[in-house]
Structure 1
Amino acid sequence: MARNSEAKPTINDVARIAGVSKKTVSRVINRSPMLNQATREKIESVIADIGYVPNPQARALALRRNFLIGLIHDNPNAQMVLNFQEGVLEGLAGTEFALVVRPVDRHAPDLFDSIRSFIEQQRLYGVLILPPLSENDELGALVREQGCRYVRMGSARLDDAEHLVESNDREAVRAAVEHLIGLGHTRIGLVQGPDGFRSARERAQGFRDAMGVHGLALDPAHVAKGNYTFDTGKAAAGAILDSPHPPTAIFASNDEMAAGVLVAARERGIDVPERLSIMGFDDTAIAAHIWPPLTTVRWPIVAMARAAARKLVRPETASEEQSLFLSDLIVRASTVAPAAKR
C-alpha cells in the first residue's frame, strides 16, 4: 500500500533516514549529552529536512518531566527578580519550555519539604536558584536527589561551571570605590546589604579592600546595614548622615538603597552631588531615571539569567555557555569631586 503523502513524519522515519535507532533519535530530541556531535548534527539535519515535529506530551512522558523551568527565590529586591525573569524568558525563547516562579521563605522550617514538593508536583525539568538560597549547598544536593537539573546564581564560585552563573562583585565594587577615591573622596560611607547574602559580603569586602589599599580609615559611624530595599537604604543613610562628621560620598550595595540615600540627603538639605556623591550597584532602571542619574555598577543580570536558562535546556552545550560575568562601572552625574577638591 502506498504511503499517504499527507502523513506527518514520525520518529521512525527520522531513524530510518538517518540510519540510526529510534532510541538515538530520542536522545537527540531530549538533548541528551550522550551522543557525539557528528551523530547529533546528522539527525538534526534529517529532522529539519523532513519537517518532523516531536510530540511534547510523548516527550514529557518519556522524560517523566514537564517542560517547566522553576525559578526559586527569596529575595527582597523585586527589580532584581524581574530582571532575572527577563533573561530567563530570553533564554527559553524558541523552545517548548515555560517558566514557573516560586517565591519561598528561606527561614521557614519546612523550606526543603516545600521545595521538594514543588519539584515533584510540577515535574520540573530544571530549576534556577537565586541568592541567597543558591548559596545553600544542601539545597543543591536536594535538587540533585530529585533527578532535576539546576543552575545556581552567585556572587562567587558556588559550583561547577555547568551548574553556575557568577559575577565578580568584590572586584567590581573595589574598582568603583577606587573611582570615588580618585575623585578625591577620603570619607566614604557604606550602606551594606542584608545578613545571609553572599553578594552583601562580597560587595562590602570590595569596599573595604579599596579603602585599605589607599590607607583610608573607615569610620564605624559611616557604616549602616540595609535590606536591598528603598526604605532600608533611606534609614541607613539617615544614620550615616546624622553622624558627627558625615562622609562626602556613600556607596550603597544596590540601586534601590542608593535611591533611599538620595532622598535621605534631600530631606536634610544636602545637595547631591555638590555636597554628597552617591553610588549604587545593579544599574537597574531607577539608576538612570532619578535625578541626578546614579553612578552605579552595571550587574549583567539579564545576560546571566539568559545563560543560566540555556545551560538547563541545552545540557549538551552547557559547558560552552559563559559562567563568569564581569560588572562595569557606569559613571553618571551623582558623583563628583568633593567640594574641598573643586
Structure 2
Amino acid sequence: MTERTPPQDDEPQAETGFGRRRPTINDIARLAGVSKKTVSRVINASPFVQQETRDRIQQVIAETGYVPDPQARGLAFRRSFLIGLVYDNPNPQYVVNMQLGLLDGMRGSGFELVVHPCERSSPSFLADIRAFVERQKLFGVVLTPSVSEDERVASLLEEIGCEYVRVASVSLDSPAHMIVTQDRVGGVQAADYLVSLGHRRMAHISGPATFRSSHERRGGFEDGLAGHGLKLEDGYSREGAYTFESGIEIGGQLLALSPKPTAIFAGNDEMAAGVLHAARQAGLRVPEDLTVVGFDDFQIASRVWPALTTVRAPTREIGRLAGERILGKEDAKANPEDRAPKLVVRDSSGPAPQT
C-alpha cells in the first residue's frame, strides 16, 4: 500500500479570494446576495429556504471552502423550538383566534407555542419580556397590538437577537417583520354601509387611545363619512375600553344625547354588544330605532340578539401568516385580500328611522 504524503506548507492552496483569512458567514451572505439569517438556515438544513436560493448559497460555500464555526453553531442551537405570543389585548377571543392561527402556520414545523400576557403600563414591562424570551430561549416572538406598536419592544428583540413579527393596523417595520391588518379599510366600509341605509346622525365608540387600531378604525370611519359630505358631530364620538362594560356605559351616554344618534359604530364587537344592552335599557328597539355595527366578527357577534352587523377582521388568517413569517416560510397561500376586513350584515342594522 502506498503511503500518502501530507501536503507541505509551501504547496499551493486553493484560491478563495480571501488570502490567509478564512471566509465568514457574512462573506457567504454577501457573495450569495442574501441575508446572514438565510445562510444560517441553509447551513442548519432548515426547510424554509427556496431551492434556487439554497443551491446558490451551497455553490458559494463550495467555491470559497467556507466551514461553519462549530462554536457559533452551538450558540445558535441553544435556541429552543418555541415561538412566543406576547399580548396585552383585553379581548380574550382575539387572543384565542390569534393562537389558533399561529398554530395553523406552525403546523408540521416541530415548533410549539407559548403565551405571555403583559401590561404595557407596568414599570417592569420590558424587563418581563426580556426575561420571558431569555428564560424560554425562544426562537422567535409574535407581537400583537398594542405591544406590537411599542418600538422599545422591537428594539429589545433586535438587541438580544430574537426573531419577531409584529401584527398591527399600519406598517411599522420592514415587511419581513410585519403583518398589516388594514383596520382603516374596515372603518370606511362601516361608514359607507350606514350612509347607504340613510343614516346621517351617527356616533362612534373607539377603543383605548393606546391602541393604534382605535385610531385607524375611527379614522377610516371619518374618511368614509367625509366621502359622503358628512362628519362625526361634536359629542358623538367617545372613547371606550374594548370591553362589554364600556359599551354599556358609553352607549348609555350617547343614547342620552338630544337628538339621539340613529346609528352607533363601535370599535369592536364587545362594545357593540354593550350598546345593544344600553339600547334595551333605554327602551329602544334594534334595528327599528337604532342601528348598531361592530368590528371583528368574533363569536359574540352571532350569539347576541339581534345578531350583530360587523366588520370581519380575519384574525385567525392573520395569525397563520404571522406563524409562517416567523419561521421563514414562503407565504405561498398568502393573498392580501384574505387579510382585508369585510362587512358582514346581520340583524342589528336597518334603515334610518323616519323623523
User: What CA distance in whole angstroms lies between the structure 2 residues aligned with 1:323 and 1:165?
Assistant: 10
- Could you report, residue by residue, the CA deviation over 1:246-285 in whole angstroms, capped at 9, with x for unpaired residues? 1000000000000000000001110000000000000101
Provide the aligned C-alpha RMSD in A: 2.5
Q: Which residue of 2 aligns with 1:29?
A: 45
1:199 aligns with 2:213: yes
Separation in 1, partners of 2:308, 2:183:
18
Query: Would you say the 8 A contact 1:67–1:98 is kept in 2?
Result: yes
Tell me the distance in 2 between the aligned counterparts of 1:333 and 1:26: 54
Deviation digits for residues 122-149 of structure 1 (CA, Å, limit 9, x no counterpart): 0000000011110112211111111111
CA distance in 1, matches of 2:303, 2:329: 41
Q: CA deviation at 1:28?
A: 5.2
8 Å contact kept, 2:41–2:49: no
Structure-2 separation of matches of 1:24 and 1:250: 52
**What is the number of residues matched between the two proteins?**
301
Q: What residue is the counterpart of 2:310 in the other structure? A: 296
Q: Structure 1 CA distance, aligned partners of 2:270 and 2:197?
A: 24
TM-score by length of 2: 0.79
Could you tell me which residue of structure 2 aligns to residue 168 of structure 1? 182
Q: Deviations over 1:229-262 (max 9, x none)?
A: 1001111101000112110000000000000000
Distance in 2, matches of 1:188 and 1:60, equals 61
For 1:1-342, list aligned pairs within 5 A: 27=43, 29-31=45-47, 33=49, 36-37=52-53, 39=55, 63-313=77-327, 315=328, 317=330, 321=334, 325-340=339-354
Instruction: Please tell me whether the aligned partners of residues 184 and 217 of structure 2 are also in contact (alpha carbons under 8 angstroms).
Output: yes
**Quick check: 109-118 or 193-202, which moved more?**
109-118
Higher helix share: 1
Residue 78 and residue 316 in structure 1: after superposition, are their counterparts in 2 closer, same or farther (change >3 A)? closer
Gaps of 5+ in 2: 1-38, 59-72
One-letter amino acid of the counterpart of residue 142, structure 2: L
Label 1:101 to 1:229 Cα distance change in 2 as closer, same or farther (>3 A): same
What amino acid does structure 2 have at the position aligned with 1:263? H
Could you list the runs of 5+ residues in structure 1 that have no partner in the other structure? 1-22, 43-58
Counting aligned pairs with the same residue, the percent is: 41
**Which one is further off, 101-110 or 272-281?**
101-110
Tell me how far apart the structure 1 counterparts of residues 127 and 50 of structure 2 sit (CA, whole Å): 32
Distance 1:318 1:301 in 2: 16
Tell me how far apart the structure 2 counterparts of residues 322 and 160 of structure 1 sit (CA, whole Å). Answer: 18
Amino acid at match of 1:305: G
Quick check: 1:166–1:323 contact (8 Å CA) kept in 2? no
How far off is 1:210 after superposition? 1.8
1:309 maps to amino acid: G
Per-residue deviation, residues 14-53 of structure 1 (Å, max 9, x unmatched):
xxxxxxxxx999735335759744649x9xxxxxxxxxxx
In the alignment, the residues of structure 2 paired with residue 250 and residue 244 of structure 1 have an alpha-carbon distance, to the nearest angstrom, of: 14
Tell me by how many angstroms 1:158 deviates.
Answer: 1.4
| Whole-angstrom CA distance in 2 between matches of 1:136 and 1:38 | 35
* TM value normalised by structure 1: 0.82
Matched position secondary structure for 1:297: strand
Task: Name the CA distance, whole Å, in 2 between partners of 1:29 and 1:333.
Answer: 53
Q: Secondary structure at the match of 1:127?
A: strand
Q: Which amino acid aligns with 1:150?
A: Y
Question: SS of the residue aligned with 2:307?
Answer: coil
Against the structure 1 CA distance between its residues 322 and 140, is the aligned structure 2 distance closer, same or farther, given a 3 Å change threshold?
A: farther
CA contact (8 A) 1:230 1:259 kept: yes
Q: How far apart in 1 are the matches of 2:104 and 2:289?
A: 42
| Native 8 Å contact 2:138 2:162 kept in 1 | yes
For residue 96 of structure 2, give the secondary structure of its aligned residue in structure 1: helix
- Contact 1:250/1:279 (CA < 8 Å) preserved in 2? yes
Task: Please state whether the residue corresponding to 1:232 is helix, strand or coil.
Answer: helix
Task: Return the alpha-carbon distance in structure 1 between the equivalents of residues 259 and 101 of structure 2.
Answer: 43
Structure-1 separation of matches of 2:190 and 2:46: 44
